[in-house]
Structure 1
Amino acid sequence: MRLFKEKLAWAAPIAVILIIALFSVNLFVQGDPQIKNLPVALIVNDEGKNVDAVKTAVKNMSQGVDGAEPVIAFTTEKEADIDTLFNDKTYYAALVVPKGYHDALTDAVKNKQPATLKVYVNQGYNATGANAAKTALTALVNQMSQQYSTTFIKQLGDKQIDAADATVLANPIVAQDKVFNAVTAKTANGSAPLLMAMPAWVGALIGGFIVFLATASIVKKERLNRSQVLRLMSNQLLFGIIIALFSGFTVATIGTIADIAMPSYLLVALFVSFAAFCFYLLVSAVTAWIGKPAITLFMVVMLLGMGVIMMPPEMLPDFFVNFVRPWIPIRFAAEGLRDIFYFGSGFYTGHSFNVIAGIGIVGLIVFVLSGFKRQNR
């Protein structure tokens, strides 16, 4: 019965409740995601009454239903710019009205050939978001096709038709898909970048905290002068490099064993190592100032981020978009690896690289400043 009098023992069920609660928060994210305002480009290369009908359908779709926000947010663009826009991750997809569409639809029954609306899918941006946009656009094309089908059948009246006519009458408009920045085979259905970025964070978290405990033990036992403090801190940084390299090359090696189709073993290993080292600097900086509570803080960040970083922001509740997603460092590593896997990027991945480097630089500065705190003590 003595155990029931120990306060630390009662902390166990409380800790379990808190951890389960944090995990359960992801149910709000993935339980019933509501898609809203997925950015999609509208490209019009033709004109005529049938083209105007497409524009009307797009306008109606952009208004939403019963006051709710629309699933798709259309923006008119030029087809010549679509590669750049997709590479810049501006749109998940594009609906293209090709040149000659009006005439093709007008003469569809006579020519026994359906008209085509093109659907471009930016798959590498985010497979979930891109597939949702593709599904919505395909449904729009099918809806228009059914409307024209009804009109054409009424116009024919009792006229006899053959099998070819029946096929066109049933589907006078068809959707033609084209995938950009394709999610390649053997990349866990597009999840490989996230799965390979996660160890960078976990390795930095565990490695940074263990090194912190070892360092704290040394500081507690000995009274160090300034040069000794600086030497100890430089050793922490050296351990960080070792931990980061172990993380990066272990991830790449396991990816090879798991038959993940990596664009380059060395490129993936070095990028994960870079991200892991920057995260290590962040962990080291925070633990140097606030100590053991930092591990709880970073665990909370990781648990909250599990569901958030898997979904596009257009499928997340506003709270998670505004107050949780911006504070999840792992997502930048995942975005960088996504650029490497699907967008042909090199080691420098643009925005994601800059953010990770910024995290590392700020972490390094804060970590170095903690040395003065140790010296004062």
Structure 2
Amino acid sequence: MKLLQNKLTILSPFIVLAVVLIFALTLAPSIQPKPTDLPIAFVNEDEGVTLPNGQTMNMGEKLAQMIQQEQENELPIKWATVKNEESVRKGLDNQSYYAALVIPKDFSEKQASLQISNPMPASVHIIVNQGMNTMASTMAGQVLNSVVDKMDETIQAQLLQGFEQQGRIITTTQAKVLASPITKVVTNVNETGTNTMNGNAPVALFQPIWMASIAGSVLLFFSIKKLSWTTRRDALIARLAQTFMGAVLALFAGFGLTSIIDLLGVNIPSFVDTALFLSVASFSFFLMISAVLSWMGIRGIPLFVLILFFGAPLLSMAPEFMSPFYKDWVYSWLPMRFMVEGLRELFFFHQAVNWNGSMVMLVSIAAGSFIILVSSVLKPGTTVQQSAKTSA
């Protein structure tokens, strides 16, 4: 049969295998991700206490030593010592830490009270930066709970051993407190809240904007190809008109998507800020795709499809969960991560549209892409080709 002798037929199994291999590789980052170096803040505000025998005790410092020992046990944490709770809360708002462990000022005083008949339970404060990344902040909270539980067990064993050596009988009140000498107060900050797709709304909005940008770029690319011009000036005007139409399409995409998710019940902190930011992201992606198409033609589209499939699984992950390869060579180059980071700030960190890091990067991508797009009018043979179309 001629079909079986056709080169494409012979190559088709290898092509199918290559496609399966490429798209199977997109699943690799999300298979058993292991966190490393999660940045967590430690604050020791404990002022210590002077015991009746004249000795001083600072349990906060002992807890700091225990934490250092835990770090040596290869916990997936990168501890950052911060001077006070006010500073750590600023760091949480600036997305410097996924969580924080705060030892209050009266911690030693309340620990010392465990020696008397009416003890006061001591507490530590765990602050979880929920909006920074759902997976990473949940993991950070779990690790801190585990660390505090181990501290609790250690202090409990030391206290009971001391009572036993002294031959003292503990009261019922002491027994209740000794069951858990350290209590945990857990607080979520920058909360994801309700109706935010379990905190994944910033990631979920990427795909519609990305696909709309590709569609708009391709449509205007074919529209430009149908035009004819004889001078580079005409070609430049066409590129400027293409850019203007891209801005119009971006506004439709940004405000349209925001309206749709609003109707679907997604909790949007600020409609206008979200719509404007999505429009800027869409315009940035449009210019980037159009710039590639202007030089490579429609052959450049598979590049952006691959970026979509390889990038999408990484956007919901914290960088600390990625392998060095994906973190340094894939994630760091993804243009859409700036959109997701900017949306997180809008949704969970009470930010408005401003000249922050995400906006600067998106505008920089747009500016660089615009230069590349406009420079395509200098391609050799551009006006000759179009002139030929005119004469034909």
What TM-score do you get using the length of structure 2 for normalisation? 0.87
Distance change in 2, residues 1:262/1:15 (3 Å): farther
Check conservation: 1:41, 1:76, Cα contact below 8 A: yes
Q: Secondary structure at the match of 1:94?
A: strand
Q: Secondary structure at the match of 1:40?
A: strand
Check conservation: 2:229, 2:235, Cα contact below 8 A: no
Check conservation: 2:131, 2:349, Cα contact below 8 A: yes
Match of 2:182 in 1: 173
Check conservation: 2:101, 2:124, Cα contact below 8 A: yes
Match of 2:201 in 1: 192
Distance 2:244 2:159 in 1: 74
Match of 1:336 in 2: 342
Match of 1:72 in 2: 77
Q: Secondary structure at the match of 2:27?
A: helix
Distance 1:276 1:250 in 2: 12
Question: Offset of 1:155 from its aligned partner?
Answer: 3.4
Q: Which residue identity does 1:249 align to in structure 2? A: F
Percent of residue pairs bearing the same amino acid type: 28
Match of 1:282 in 2: 288
Query: Which ranges of structure 1 fall in alignment gaps of 5 or more residues?
Result: none
Distance 1:317 1:334 in 2: 20
Question: Offset of 1:78 from its aligned partner?
Answer: 2.1
Residue correspondence of structure 1 range 336-375 to structure 2 within 5 A: 336-348=342-354, 350-373=356-379, 374-375=382-383
Q: Which residue identity does 2:368 align to in structure 1? A: V
Residue correspondence of structure 1 range 194-273 to structure 2 within 5 A: 194-216=203-225, 218=226, 222=228, 224-273=230-279
Question: Offset of 1:77 from its aligned partner?
Answer: 1.0
Distance 1:168 1:26 in 2: 51
Larger radius of gyration: 2
Match of 1:135 in 2: 142
Q: Which residue identity does 1:280 align to in structure 2? A: F
What TM-score do you get using the length of structure 1 for normalisation? 0.91
**1:28-59 Cα shifts (integer Å, max 9, x gaps):** 31211111111111111114342222111111
Match of 2:52 in 1: none
- Aligned pairs, how many? 370
Question: Offset of 1:165 from its aligned partner?
Answer: 3.4
Check conservation: 2:44, 2:61, Cα contact below 8 A: no
Question: Offset of 1:159 from its aligned partner?
Answer: 6.1
Match of 2:331 in 1: 325
Check conservation: 2:114, 2:174, Cα contact below 8 A: no
Distance change in 2, residues 1:208/1:5 (3 Å): farther
Distance 1:369 1:127 in 2: 42
Match of 2:298 in 1: 292
Check conservation: 2:45, 2:60, Cα contact below 8 A: no
Match of 1:23 in 2: 23
Distance change in 2, residues 1:299/1:140 (3 Å): same
Check conservation: 1:285, 1:364, Cα contact below 8 A: yes
1:117 aligns with 2:156: no
Picking from 159, 165, 181, the partner of 1:152 is 159
Match of 2:51 in 1: none
Distance 1:72 1:240 in 2: 44
Q: Which residue identity does 2:151 align to in structure 1? A: M
Query: Quick check: 118-127 or 152-161, which moved more?
Result: 152-161
Q: Which residue identity does 1:76 align to in structure 2? A: T
Question: Offset of 1:314 from its aligned partner?
Answer: 0.8
Distance 1:282 1:120 in 2: 40
